[in-house]
């Protein structure tokens, strides 16, 4: 007896469709914009972050905030404090706490360098951005020195002067 013709099926969808720009590493997951306003950013370091699965999914959704966070060197290890990662919307009982201390992964030589520099008066570690690199979450830490009020005013004056100069050049090109 001949076999019946099977019905035609739709072709299977692509295994790896175009990923979200944040997850693909093309766009930052979180940026601390106020850090450049409040601090002089002297030197930058890249560090990996120890996270749970639901935290990674929340970061991919763009639910991370670095506004009040800072880095701390304690017992030869680097920690990220007060970074807010909202709970994952589809998480179960194993969902994470939104604000918790997270360990940062960085080379020992860099930690030794940071210990020496953060013990100087007025220097601290501020996270400036959170991003994906090769599927892993990375944080960019900046060694920072706090700005005084007059420093902030001077930066604002310089920024407005540069903007006015750019506009004047653009106007002269149009005319």
What is the tens place of the pLDDT at every residue in 23-79? 676 678 888 888 888 888 899 999 999 988 888 888 888 888 999 899 989 998 999
Q: What is the pLDDT of residue 53?
A: 83
User: Is position 80 within any domain?
Assistant: yes
d(C-alpha 37, C-alpha 70), whole Å = 15
User: Is position 12 within any domain?
Assistant: no
Please give the average per-residue pLDDT across 82-101, as a whole number: 85
Residue 123 contacts residue 105 (beta carbons within 8 Å): no
- Give how many domains the chain has, as a whole number: 1
d(C-alpha 128, C-alpha 53), whole Å = 23
Is this prediction's pTM over 0.95?
no
The rounded mean pLDDT for the chain is 84
Parallel, antiparallel, or unpaired: how do β-strands 136-146 and 102-105 relate?
Answer: unpaired
Three-state DSSP string of the chain: CCCCCCCCCCCCCCCCCCCCHHHHCCCCCEECCHHHHHEEEEEEEEEEECCCHHHHHHHHCCCEECCCCEEEEECCEEEEECCEECCCCCCCCCCCCCECCEEEECCHHHHHHHHHHHCCCCEEEEEEEEEEECCEEEEEEEEEEECCHHHHHHHHHHHHHHHHHHHHHHHHHHC
Q: Is the dihedral of CA 49, 51, 53, 57 positive or negative?
A: negative
Confidence of residue 105 (pLDDT cuts 50, 70, 90): very high
User: Is position 134 within any domain?
Assistant: yes
Q: Is the dihedral of CA 114, 120, 76, 85 positive or negative?
A: negative
Residue 85 contacts residue 55 (beta carbons within 8 Å): yes
User: Is position 165 within any domain?
Assistant: no
User: Is position 6 within any domain?
Assistant: no
Task: State which residues form the domain around 117.
Answer: 21-146
Task: Please write the tens of the pLDDT for every residue from 132-155.
Answer: 888 899 999 999 888 888 888 888
Whichever domain contains 130, its CATH number is: 2.40.280.10
User: Is position 34 within any domain?
Assistant: yes
User: Is position 163 within any domain?
Assistant: no
d(C-alpha 51, C-alpha 36), whole Å = 26
User: Is position 8 within any domain?
Assistant: no
């Amino acid at each position: 007896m001949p076999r019946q013709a099977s019905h035609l099926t739709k072709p299977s969808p692509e295994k790896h469709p175009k990923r979200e720009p944040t997850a693909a590493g093309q766009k930052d997951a979180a940026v601390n914009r106020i850090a450049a306003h409040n601090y002089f950013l002297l030197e930058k370091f890249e560090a990996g972050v120890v996270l749970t699965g639901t935290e990674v999914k929340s970061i991919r959704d763009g639910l991370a905030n670095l506004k009040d966070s800072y880095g701390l060197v304690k017992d030869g290890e680097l920690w990220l404090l007060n970074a807010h990662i909202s709970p994952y919307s589809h998480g179960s009982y194993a969902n994470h706490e939104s604000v918790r201390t997270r360990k940062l992964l960085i080379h020992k030589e860099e930690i030794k360098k940071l210990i020496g520099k953060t013990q100087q008066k007025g220097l601290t570690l501020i996270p400036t951005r959170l991003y994906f690199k090769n599927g892993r979450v990375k944080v960019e830490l900046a060694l920072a020195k706090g700005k005084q009020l007059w420093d902030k005013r001077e930066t604002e004056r310089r920024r407005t002067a540069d903007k006015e100069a750019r506009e004047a050049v653009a106007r002269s090109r149009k005319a």
